[in-house]
Amino acid sequence: MILKKLTNVLQLIASNLTENQVPYSLIGALALGLYGLPRYTSDIDLLTEGRSWSEISAMMERLGYTCYQKTHSFAQFDSESGVLGKIDFMFVNTQDGEDMIGRSLVVEDELLGKHPVIQPTDFIILKLMAIANNPDLGPKDEADILEVLKLFKNHLISKDFGSLDMDRIFLFADRFGQRMRIEKYVQNVFAVTNKPGSFEL
């Protein structure tokens, strides 16, 4: 379920990012919805470049938002009394991260409008990283990974999005110490054997 207020706020934030030449991509529940699994959300999650922080900070303050949490990798904004809803920015600070933004697919949705959306492969990689960084949030992120895999299995994700790149997923899973976890998910969904190169999607 997408609230009208959320779509209006997304359009406002997106137009300001574009005006400031700040690249962005939808992630989180909005991306999952555009893959084919609509889910209620009142928050907006965006992937963008860490080097654009000063432009983002000034822009959000101008729009009536306050940053209440900021690290090297993310920033969370809310408006007074939560009137406009929360906006979470996840920052990429490497070429790998910038490539994720570059691979995004621009999707035009009747409710949300026209926005770049992260590729499902990169969605899974970000979820694995989130699990590695904060295991307490693991169940929610695990559920999201499984849902994306199931959507692919049932051919429910638009072919405009690229196929799952399992080699890249496993590469990052190894970096994050999550290889066994993602292999378990893929085996559960696709009923494949645990042999290198045996995953066919």
The pLDDT value recorded for residue 81 is 62
Mean pLDDT, the chain, as a whole number?
A: 89
Q: Yes or no: say if 57 and 156 are a contact pair by the CB < 8 Å rule.
A: no
Q: Please report the domains of the chain, with CATH numbers, ordered by start residue.
A: 1-118 (3.30.460.40), 119-195 (no CATH)
Q: Which of 33-42, 52-61, 180-189 has the lowest mean pLDDT?
A: 33-42
Token pair belonging to 67? 């940053």
pLDDT tier at 38, thresholds 50, 70, 90: confident
Flag whether pLDDT at 143 surpasses 90.
yes
Flag whether pLDDT at 193 surpasses 80.
no
Edge-to-edge order in the sheet of strand 87-92: 65-70, 74-79, 87-92, 44-49, 24-26, 113-117, 105-109
Q: Yes or no: say if 77 and 65 are a contact pair by the CB < 8 Å rule.
A: yes
What is the average pLDDT across 98-110? 95
Triad 136, 165, 151: Cα angle to 5°: 65
The pLDDT value recorded for residue 192 is 59
Q: Rg of the chain's alpha carbons, rounded to an integer?
A: 17
The pLDDT value recorded for residue 157 is 94
Flag whether pLDDT at 194 surpasses 70.
no
- Determine the 3-state secondary structure of 193 from DSSP: coil
Flag whether pLDDT at 52 surpasses 50.
yes
Token pair belonging to 187? 């085996």
> Dihedral sign, CA of 31, 37, 38, 41?
negative
Report the C-alpha dihedral over residues 8, 14, 16, 17, rounded to 10 degrees. Answer: 160
**Higher pLDDT among residues 198 and 117, named by residue:** 117
**Cα(165)–Cα(201) distance, rounded to whole angstroms?**
9
Q: Which of 45-54, 81-90, 122-131, 139-148 has the lowest mean pLDDT?
A: 81-90
Question: With b meaning 16 or more CB within 10 Å and e meaning fewer, what string describes 41-57?
Answer: beebbbbbbbebbebbb
Token pair belonging to 3? 């609230």
Neighbours of 109 (CB within 10 A): 15
pLDDT tier at 3, thresholds 50, 70, 90: low
Flag whether pLDDT at 195 surpasses 50.
no
- Neighbouring residues of 167: CB distance < 8 A, sequence distance ≥ 6: none
